[in-house]
Structure 1
């Protein structure tokens, strides 16, 4: 099948054009910063491989979830601005186990934990494509390689950098000279087609660890304080501005540990504010609360809060109530008591990155009354043992109840507050 390359190659930089030609190894991995062009280059190479692949063997596309494969792979392949008429030859229904690319059926798998590895057993593969390889369990990746048994079988994959101790870097990328592997490293500057204003905005949206990884494309280790950009003088406010909308209340659940709740509001100044905090710690209160008791006190707290700027008016009703996803019993109790809630998004690293970016870009402030949160943030640190054990980034699970509640309140309803936020570039102007 002939493929017209004109449309796609116009959007590729020299390093990515070269990568398409050079990616003849068994393992071919594009690494580097966000929006550096690696996805488009790798997908063009995938199309060329599918068009000439042997009829024996299956083609597998995999990522952390099928949803992420749909978002990062199929949504790009079906964009006519990138792939022209070829986009009409890509078919996929979100969530489905198979799709069609250039008339060939392809398998689609999510690999979000170690239990995913058996999914690929028994397959005979001629091609595989992995989206964001550092998010894939090592056992799954190893099994995919074992299944690439058709003569000339190849794997194509993309990744942002992670910890320098990550298995992908240690066991594969650093062994490029030993393995049948090619890799290409690119940054934002390797994508000359991006709007300079967009690049400037992107560079201020990431801070600290994530700036080094996602913007500079560096494999750097997480160390020290998680929120190393936190500054009490900068981030804590004594008086709240006018709150335009009360976005959410995030609740972290504890039985022997503390239960904490934080309210998130959107100010008319284009910033987010963590405005109020409620905590119950059995260790200091010397009593435990049942789910019914927690529900009763949380609802009483919300109903009794004074509305800032409205003298005598009490009662706050945030649009979202998001609860620790492990606290199903509390969610059921809240529902029985007339308070609708949802399981919070507990993507820990994504939530931490989002909070870090908001703090670093002056888009998130904390009212001084949120004492538990203010006490926890300076001591919230990366876990060195997790890095040594398997190269993973993880915070130490201690004294983080208000932090988790804040993370739930911010990350889960991002789709709601994101349009209300002033950009970091505008705030810095």
Structure 2
């Protein structure tokens, strides 16, 4: 006689239990949508929901191929794998190949656990898959590029070809844009929290009910400890599930709100005696970005124009920049120092720009100093940005520029930001590093004659104003 095994949700003692209401909502959302996320606070059962979806799909479609992963395998093993082992009985598992990261069930379904860190090795492995389902734990940790690569492998016949993901909100990132701001068709979102914002912390277990908590089986003192012992910004994100969280932002003072609440101002004519600069960050496969800056006599930087393009060559960038430069004179034009490197060829990127009429100088690329200088400028309201549609990519990068998260809880906070979508932040760093020592313009007492050169050589760059 075959032994019956239970596959599904369990309580803390390992007993069979029904899914929580929000988990039921997530199951329904998965049935109705192509890409479903359960988001919000920690502790309300998102990962168990994710594994339950995987278990149901594994049994519904024999010989299925399912990706299950998180950015780092260490985090996967500590969290996702624990839920997997708790929900899927060992009696159903035929074999596991730890070297390849494959768990095979007796019905032929295979779970592939993969780090979703965007590395060449991981991406190559994903690109070789023929998937029927993808399960992503903590999708906010990965890039949109990795997500789209996974979606591109959902092509297996006799399968749902869907994604299910969990998420702790991380501000206005690509996930927020796709599932919240401009909710796309077939994108399902279920949000939960372990405590209602505005409700006093619990004082006993009777205070923890479905009216106040989406998982009332959590100990009351655990919830109270999180609410009282952690910083407010952490609580906003990990307890209340707020998408407006600023935890981990490099420049939390920066914002696109209208002046004076934020740094966005209406476009206006720039006095011709202000010092104008261009700061450029080079990329081909990655975006190239530039900011056009005018500095007044107080040292305030007015960013009046910007440039952003991906997958283009030097001639395209040069023509686009020259068009934006018009007949203005510039006190200096500074670019990513890597453009001047002769490691691969003496004909550097900077030399190519020179041949097309743009003479850049190497920018000061001091990372930590630049971050500090920019932070002080934001806080002192020394940066103002024209309110123009072309600044949307600028604000998207600046408002989501974050420090790398700690991999080990006992480590100090990291000193480097996440190296992703940092092209405009790099430009602003170049700007702040230069303006720290640059001479401020002086209001003219009489008419001054300006150079009309569209671009100037480094030797003549400081003759213009």
TM-score, normalization: structure 1?
0.49
| Higher percent of residues as helix | 1
Which structure would you say has the larger Rg?
2
